[in-house]
Amino acid sequence: MIVIRVLDGTDLHADENAVILVAGAGDTGTHTMVHGIDRGALMTAEEPAALVARLAVNPPLARLARPDMTPVWIKGSAVTAIRPPLASERQAAANAVVILGGLRQAVHETVAAAEQVLNAHGANV
């Protein structure tokens, strides 16, 4: 179990194994998005790296880079597919899209590089 303090100050007690993606949010990186606990993103003021360090999950979350080169941590076993960006998803430095059920995360790594990192952290793609 992990306790995450959401932006309104409420402490949320959650199964840390439910966390599938952690990334910074906001232009200044003042918030962190946590996916997998509730529908949509859970927002917290805790630094993403600090929150990930508190997760006692095995294997640990894989660290990749978003197209803007900020880190994103992804649960390998939650990954259902990896593919190149579609024409409608293309953005500078986005070389692959990681799919976690209904959630899509563009990453800087190539499809092959993302696949290698994620498979080393429990993915099977």
> Is residue 22 a part of any domain in this protein?
yes
Inside any domain, residue 23 = yes
Does a structural domain hold residue 9?
Answer: yes
Quote the CA–CA distance of 101 and 7 in Å, as a whole number. Answer: 26
> Within a domain: residue 125?
no
* Residues 66 and 22: beta-carbon distance below 8 Å: no
Element (H, E) at 53: helix 48-54
Phi/psi for 8 (5° steps) reads -85, 5
From first CA to last CA, the distance across the chain in angstroms is 28
CA separation, residue 5 to residues 11, 32, 46, 56, 123 (Å): 4, 11, 8, 17, 28
Number of structural domains found in the chain: 1
pLDDT tens digit sequence for 71-80: 999 999 999 9
Q: What is the pLDDT, as a whole number, of residue 87? A: 87
Q: Is residue 93 part of a domain?
A: yes
**Predicted local distance difference test score (pLDDT) of residue 26:** 67
Residue 124 lies inside a defined structural domain of this protein: no
Collect the ranges in the chain with pLDDT lower than 50.
none
pTM: 0.94
